[in-house]
Amino acid sequence: MIDKTVVTLTEAVAHIKDGDTVFIAGFGDAGNPTELVHALIDQGAKDLTLVNNNSGNGFVGLAALLNTGRVRKMICSYPRSSHSVVFEELYHAGKIELETIPQGTLAERIRAAGAGIAGFYTPTSAGTPLAEGKEIRHFDGRDHVLERPLAADVALIKAETADRWGNLTYRLAARNFGPIMCMAAKCTIVQTRKLVPLGDIPPEQVVTPSIFVDRVVEVPHPMSERNAILNGEHYP
Amino acid sequence: MTDGLTREQVAWRIAQDMVDGSFVNLGIGQPELVANFLPEDREIIFHSENGILGMGPEPAPGEEDEELINAGKKPITLLPGGAIFHHADSFAMIRGGHIDACVLGAFQVAENGDLANWSTGGSGMVPAVGGAMDLAVGAKRVLVMTDHCTKTGEPKLVEKCSYPLTGTGVVNTVYTDLAVIDVTREGFLVRERVDSLSFEELQNRTGARLTLANDWRPLTAF
């Protein structure tokens, strides 16, 4: 029998190793796997490379993980926001590496990794500082930049519903990076608000098919990062 | 400078050029104002980079949903017919040439259509780009909404951008508080300008040569 569910968050993140590259899904307040990130903080893996669109807010979730000093490098498109204090301090102190990638290139590099594509050419960033050092080719009257896939050892994902095979749905804009990150990680770990019996998710409504998922843990009442930030909460 | 339009008036002016039935992405910040001024006879589908088509107005207080936000991370609503999709699909819409128009802010626009809007290049700044480079190369029409000059009076329309580029040769039309200006092979072509300034005064506030269109009109707003 296939059963990807695990009972505890501790179990879900137990195998994450020092030096791993970790995808963290989520955009703004939508789709953050905050409980999984907190479990990773408790687990203690270090020398991590994190991938997210942004760089965390306040002192919870991704920002709290950065605040442990266990992250070597951040890969993102927009590492600046009204509450990104932790990242900015680390960056200005020279304590973290940063790779800034155009948002669409970030998404497409992740998708390419999941789809077995070794590289692609895009006009995005041609002629800009973000193309420096990259191969440029001229197609159809326009310069294109060679971009390579971006894979990870682990993906941390927040879903709305999941079954024991690992089929997933997402709620509203919480989908964001979830489906492509699931495809491009060696081990995809999902926290889901509802764990449902096989067959409960209508097949045509499955957004991430089970083949891309490795572990599922139920978190029925995920925290609101927004409220935690507004309340000045810190994790741990 | 009190010679020109307010930001709301510039947004209104851009809204008049939105084509009925088109898919439009409004950049974070000032360009978002354009949505407030759409003429009633236009049905426009707004795209948001985080994976939304059919974005509606702000929710009523108390109706916000943390999982229904736009690219600026602000709460939004979905119109009937709205759709949600993942980030790679969202950027395939942009990069694949499916978005009819985007409205972006700018630090500088050059007479060849180069756009600089993501970084002032200062060493103290954390480099952050988001979707600006994707929109700049991918949208069918790139419209820029900006003040004609900086707060200190420096022209933002220039011969060559001094700030790091977002995209090369990408801008179609610039809407400022003083003028509506197309980027053409021959450089900046003034389609509309405010009555309160002479063409020479407008030229003096611009860092590149302007040409006045034969059929130019006064720039007015509501």
- From B8, B40, B49, B200, the catalytic residue: B49
CATH of domain B7-56+65-218: 3.40.1080.10
Cα A37 from Cα A55, distance rounded (Å): 13
Helix and strand numbers (H, E) in chain A are: 7, 12
Cβ atoms within 10 Å, residue A165: 18
Domains of chain A: total: 1
A136 falls within a domain: no
Interface test with B, best of A51, A75, A78, A157 (most B CBs within 10 A): A78
pLDDT single digits (tens) B82-123: 999 999 999 999 999 999 999 999 999 999 999 999 999 887
Chains A and B form CB pairs within 8 A to the count of: 136
Could you tell me which chain A residue has the CA closest to the CA of B90? Answer: A104
- Do residue A28 and residue B134 have CB atoms under 8 angstroms apart? no
Q: What CATH code is carried by the domain that includes residue A70?
A: 3.40.1080.10
φ, ψ for residue B91, nearest 5 deg? -80, -20
Cα A23 from Cα A52, distance rounded (Å): 6
Determine the pLDDT at residue B121.
87
Determine the pLDDT at residue B18.
97
- Do residue B128 and residue A226 have CB atoms under 8 angstroms apart? no
A235 falls within a domain: no
Cα B121 from Cα B14, distance rounded (Å): 29
Distances (CA, A) of A194 to A25, A158, A161, A201: 18, 11, 5, 11
Determine the pLDDT at residue B1.
46
Name the residue range of residue A186's domain: 5-118+151-230
Helix (H) / strand (E) containing A7? none
Cα B18 from Cα A234, distance rounded (Å): 45
For chain A, state the CA radius of gyration: 18
A124 falls within a domain: no
Determine the pLDDT at residue B17.
97
Strand ranges, E, within chain A:
5-6, 21-24, 48-51, 71-76, 97-100, 120-122, 136-139, 142-147, 152-162, 168-169, 185-195, 215-218
Determine the pLDDT at residue B222.
83
A142 falls within a domain: no
Give me the residue spans of the domains in chain B: 7-56+65-218
- Do residue B69 and residue A30 have CB atoms under 8 angstroms apart? yes
Residue A167 in contact with residue A43, Cβ under 8 Å? no
Chain A residues with beta carbon closer than 8 angstroms to that of B140: none
ipTM above 0.90, yes or no: yes
A167 falls within a domain: yes
CB neighbour list of residue B215: distance below 8 Å, 6 or more residues apart: none
The alpha carbon of residue B100 is apart from the nearest alpha carbon of chain A, in Å, by: 17
Cα B183 from Cα B204, distance rounded (Å): 18
Cβ atoms within 10 Å, residue A145: 23
A133, A49, A228, A34: CA torsion to nearest 10: 120
Across the 236 residues of chain A, what is the mean pLDDT of every consecutive 10-residue run? 98 98 97 98 98 96 98 96 92 97 98 98 98 97 98 98 98 98 98 98 98 98 94 95
The alpha carbon of residue B57 is apart from the nearest alpha carbon of chain A, in Å, by: 16
For the question of residue B49 being annotated catalytic, the response is: yes
